[in-house]
Amino acid sequence: MASKPMTGQAFFVLTALAGGPRHGYGIVGEVAELSQGRILLKIGSLYGVLDRLAAEGLIEPDREEAHDGRLRRYYRLTRDGQRALAEEAELHAAAARAVRAGLGQTGPAAAGAAG
Amino acid sequence: MNGGLDLEQRYRRVLRLLPGWYRERWEEDMVAAFLDSWHTGDPEDDEWALEFCKPTWPEVADVAVLAVRLHLGGPGTPRRYAWGQAIRRAVLAVLLLHAVLGLNVLVRITWSRRLFGLPAPPAILATATPGGVWDTVFYVVNFAWVVIFVALVLGHYRTARVLAALAIVPDLVALLQAEFTRIMPVPFGPWAWWILFNLVLVLAMTTFHSGAPRAARWPWLLALPAGYLLVIVPLLTLQATGNSAWVPDLAGQCCLLVAVACLAHVPRAWSRHAAGSGVWSLTLTLLATLAGAYRIATLTSYLYDPHLVNVSLAELLILLVAIALVAPDAARAQAGTPARPPHPHATAA
């Protein structure tokens, strides 16, 4: 059965957590880096996404650490989150292969050569 | 100059736009992440920023957009969750009604044909064996509702949706045929049944999508034989013993069943400790709306008999009183929160 489509923000947040647990602002920084600066999450948007992902059981709290007198809560992927991210990544990879095939390219090197 | 507020207090003031349940869950996290985003690494700059800076307009707008989504009940919010669950449970309840009626047809045919060595039924309960294509189609549709109900409970959503969409077609054809040939016995009742308990049902079945929580299998599956024994058997007994006058019509039965369900639910709805009661209250409210609408639509069939109109109005009144008892809990369900993963214990570094 097909699963719900994942938004770009949710995909990058899950990808940011694939490397290990991160706290809120850590996720913002990782998402900016992964998206090469294309997705700059505001705090409101970030917690809108985190709330949805937590409700869907894709992420869960990992631990809390004290920092500058306040607690930072870290989040990690759940098993369902890992599975959903892997499925979404496979979709993206398939789409990328289709694009390359459509453009008559076989990989990044070919894209570079064409450019 | 700064109004006595520092950056954190100003951001917390912006966060007041968000619903209370959301702030309770996320406010501290948001404040921590927001203040992190202002850190430059230079203690003097950081101190100045914390004391004199304000949240930027894009940051405020971002929180405002989130607040609007949450207040309107966007995906993943308690309001959306409560409505989704309530609609799915109402769909299961209506399908259960169809399935129990289908099971009744199956039992009566089996009994009338004296299969399995059964004795002959009382004449009033005897059912004619299907004769002709249309009769057979309608019997098959009755049995199909049992299959549809079981399929939905077992999680075969697409199969259930397709079968249900097909199962409502023969009734529609029969209704249109009756309209065109002007043999419709009563003006609104059959159409009301088809629209409320067939068409609306099939449309509402779309809420059973792949991400929807699964229904509790065994309670719903057991509800089928239980419904037959607790509702159909007493009604058949009344008919077989010559007390048919005490049997309400289908609309009346729907009103009374929902009213009884409301009364059974009242202790949970009024308890402050019963988790998740609000979604059931919302479900009962939806079912009461369906039953009430059907009762009103079928009233026109009894205009010739003031006694039957009074009985119908009494059923409606009973339904209204019963639903009034759970309506406040249903309203609260929209502000409640769905189950969330637990937060970890602090492991301060």
Two tokens at B133?
């294509």
Helix (H, G, I), strand (E, B) or coil at A75: strand
Helix (H, G, I), strand (E, B) or coil at A65: strand
Option in A25, A54, A63 nearest B33 (CB): A25
Cβ contact (<8 Å) for A47 and B209? no
Option in A44, A55, A66 nearest B338 (CB): A55
Mean pLDDT of all residues in B20-40 = 86
* Top-tier CATH class for A8-103: mainly alpha
Name the residue with higher pLDDT: B201 or B339: B201
Reported as a single tens digit per residue, the pLDDT across B263-291 is 999 998 888 665 567 889 999 999 999 99
Nearest-CA distance B323 → chain A (Å): 30
Is B347's Cβ below 8 Å from some Cβ in A?
Answer: yes
Using the predicted structure, report yes or no on whether residue A115 has a pLDDT greater than 60: no
For residues B89 and B279, is the Cβ–Cβ distance under 8 A?
A: yes
In Å, how far are B88, B89, B129, B261 from B216, measured between CA atoms?
12, 10, 36, 18
What is the gyration radius of the CA atoms in chain A, in angstroms?
A: 17
Nearest-CA distance A51 → chain B (Å): 8
For residues B32 and A71, is the Cβ–Cβ distance under 8 A?
A: yes
Pairwise CA distance, residues B326 & B83, whole Å = 16
Residues facing residue A67 across a β-bridge = A70
Residue A31's contacts (CB-CB under 8 Å, 6 or more residues apart) are A9, A12, A13, A15, A16, A39, A41
Q: Taking a contact as any Cβ pair under 8 Å apart, which residues of chain B between 181 and 210 contact chain A? A: 209-210
Q: Give me the phi and psi of B168, to 5 degrees please.
A: -90, -10
Pairwise CA distance, residues B7 & B35, whole Å = 8
- What is the identity of the amino acid at B85? Q
Cβ contact (<8 Å) for B62 and A43? yes
Is B68's Cβ below 8 Å from some Cβ in A?
Answer: no
Instruction: Tell me which DSSP letter residue B346 carries.
Output: B
pLDDT of the residue at B273: 60
Reported as a single tens digit per residue, the pLDDT across A39-79 is 889 999 999 899 888 888 899 988 888 877 778 899 999 99
Q: Give me the phi and psi of A59, to 5 degrees please.
A: -135, 165
Q: What is the mean pLDDT of chain A?
A: 84
Q: Looking at chain A, which residue has its C-alpha nearest residue B33?
A: A25
Mean pLDDT of all residues in B166-174 = 93
pLDDT of the residue at B177: 87
Is B47's Cβ below 8 Å from some Cβ in A?
Answer: no
Helix (H, G, I), strand (E, B) or coil at B265: helix
Nearest-CA distance B286 → chain A (Å): 25
Strand A70-77 versus strand A59-67 pairing type: antiparallel
Reported as a single tens digit per residue, the pLDDT across B121-168 is 776 666 766 667 788 888 899 999 999 999 999 999 999 999 999 999
Chain B residue numbers with beta carbons less than 8 Å from the beta carbon of A45 are: 62, 65-66
Picking from A47, A65, A68, A71 by the largest number of B CB atoms within 10 A of its own CB, the best residue to mutate is A47
Pairwise CA distance, residues B20 & B202, whole Å = 36
Tell me the residue ranges of DSSP E strands in chain B.
Answer: none
Nearest-CA distance B165 → chain A (Å): 19
Domains of chain B by residue range: 7-72, 84-225, 248-338
pLDDT of the residue at B344: 41
Neighbours of A11 (CB within 10 A): 22
pLDDT category at B87 given cuts 50, 70, 90 is very high
- b/e map A53-77, b = 16+ CB within 10 Å: bbbbebbbbbbbeeeeeebbbbbbb
Instruction: Tell me which DSSP letter residue B246 carries.
Output: G
Cβ contact (<8 Å) for B30 and A24? yes
Distance of CA B19 to the CA centre of its chain: 25
Pairwise CA distance, residues A28 & A6, whole Å = 18
Mean pLDDT of all residues in A96-108 = 78
Closest CA to B292 of B265, B262, B259, B260: B259
Using the predicted structure, report yes or no on whether residue A5 has a pLDDT greater than 70: no
For residues A61 and A74, is the Cβ–Cβ distance under 8 A?
A: yes
Q: Tell me the ipTM for this assembly.
A: 0.80
Closest CA to B256 of B235, B278, B225: B235
- What is the identity of the amino acid at B34? F
Helix (H) or strand (E) holding B72: helix B57-72
Percent of chain B with pLDDT over 90: 43
